[in-house]
Structure 1
Amino acid sequence: MGTSVTISAATDQDAEQILKLQYLCYQPEAARYDDYGIEPLTQSLAALRAELGGGCVLVARLGAEVVGSVRGTVDATGTAKIAKLIVHPRLQRHGLGGRLLAAVEQRLAAERSAKRYRLLTGQRSEGDLRLYRSHGYAPVGTEQPTRRLGLTTLEKPVAAEAYAAGA
């Protein structure tokens, strides 16, 4: 490949590539739960563009290709909600997901005064659970939105040094 992967803020021009990558990355998740109606597979381009305008959306690029992405928002209580962490299947298990997670955490603390991070993942998504645990997340709850889909909520506090840097 020869080109290193860079992480930067997403732009409106990235929307179509992000949506295509999201569709590709969530196919195994949909198969795992036998539910192809999950939101990442039904999200419209307009809805994604709205997220680009209102949240913190990062992309990982290999040259001009978007090969990863993550999104985050911070609510009035300082809780950062991190969502849709995706990495192209050919680049998975090489640390890119962890790099994207760390990058969005840093931005949400520094630019949006996050005090804690929260995310959701499927209860049977062992790879995702392993990644989040390795980055300090701990389970704080579960829910069963459908008969087939069980979700785990994980959280971690913002590190004191990250919070001080963002204050």
Structure 2
Amino acid sequence: MATSGESTIGVRAATDGDRISARDLISASTPRGRASLVLLRAGQGLLWVAYQGHGDREKLVGLLLATVQIDSDSEEPVGYIQELLVHPAYRRLGVAMHLLDAAERFFLEEQRFSQIYLATSPDNEAALRLYRSRGYTAYQVRLAKRRLDTPSDAAVPDREHDGP
């Protein structure tokens, strides 16, 4: 596991309490964050959390929220990483790598799915480096054009908080 100056950081499948606490890490100001919050409130999605400390002193420092989707081309189930967040104070400690380990183990090894998908902004260099280092490759390129009277966060998803 990752270690910070204080103690070891662990990763586990989320408890019901973790699902509630995880909401505090997700920004409701972005389209992706709002979608993730809907999933959590509805009890949907698979959630892994990174935590530091034990018992009453435990603190969530990262999360990975994923879903099972059906690939539109192959009609096969695939894992989809909806959200990967690491608290800024805990970045560059391997937390995102351990969260990805848990999701990849579940989807690729336990469920035997052939693929995991995710989306991130082409401007998020840290996330791109992380995902490429894990063997993720570009699968699709999506372009969008905004209607002039459309608010900037309505037409094109903001991926600012994806990744490490």
TM-score of the aligned structures, taking structure 1 as reference length: 0.71
Gap change, CA 1:110 and 1:122, over 3 Å in 2: same
Q: Tell me the secondary structure at the aligned position of residue 26 of structure 2.
A: helix
Instruction: Report if aligned partners of 1:70, 1:83 keep a CA contact under 8 Å in 2.
Output: yes
Cα offset, 1:107, TM superposition? 1.3
What percentage of residue pairs aligned between the two structures are identical? 32
1:81-120 correspondence runs (5 A): 81-120=80-119
Greater share of residues in helix: 1
Whether 2:37 is the aligned partner of 1:49: answer: no
- Tell me the equivalent position of 2:139: 140
Q: Is the 8 A contact 1:61 1:68 kept in 2?
A: yes
Unaligned runs of 5+ in 1: 27-35, 153-167
Residue deviations 1:16-68 (CA, integer Å, cap 9, x gap): 32111122xx8xxxxxxxxx44230x358563132xx4432100010111111
The answer to whether the 8 Å contact 1:6/1:60 transfers is yes
Structure 2 unaligned blocks of 5 or more? 71-75, 147-151, 160-164
Helix, strand or coil for the counterpart of 2:40? helix
> What does the per-residue CA deviation read over 1:93-142, in whole Å, with 9 as the maximum and x for residues that have no partner?
12111111111110122333321111100111111011000000111112
- Tell whether 2:59 aligns with 1:65: yes
Please tell me whether the aligned partners of residues 30 and 158 of structure 2 are also in contact (alpha carbons under 8 angstroms). Answer: no
Q: Please state whether the residue corresponding to 2:117 is helix, strand or coil.
A: strand
CA 1:71 to 1:37, structure 2 compared with 1: closer, same or farther past 3 Å? closer
> Are 2:122 and 1:123 equivalent residues in the alignment?
yes
Given that 2:36 and 2:65 are in contact with CA atoms closer than 8 Å, whether structure 1 keeps it comes out as: no
Contact 2:80/2:117 (8 A) holds in 1: yes
| Alignment correspondent of 2:26 | 22
One-letter amino acid matched to 1:4: T
State the Cα RMSD in Å. 2.6
Bigger relative contact order, structure 1 or 2 (CA pairs below 8 A, ≥6 apart): 2
Query: Structure 1 residues 10, 21: CA separation in 2 closer, same or farther (over 3 Å shift)?
Result: same
Q: Is the 8 A contact 1:109 1:115 kept in 2?
A: yes
Once the two structures are TM-superposed, the CA of residue 78 in structure 1 deviates from its matched residue by 2.9
* Shift, 1:151, TM fit: 8.6
Count of residues in correspondence between the two structures: 138
More strand as a share of residues:
1
Per the TM alignment, residue 4 of structure 1 is displaced from its structure 2 partner at its CA by 0.8
**Contact 1:72 1:108 (C-alpha < 8 Å) held by counterparts:** no
> Which of 25, 32, 42 does residue 39 from structure 1 map onto?
32
AA at the equivalent of 2:89: R
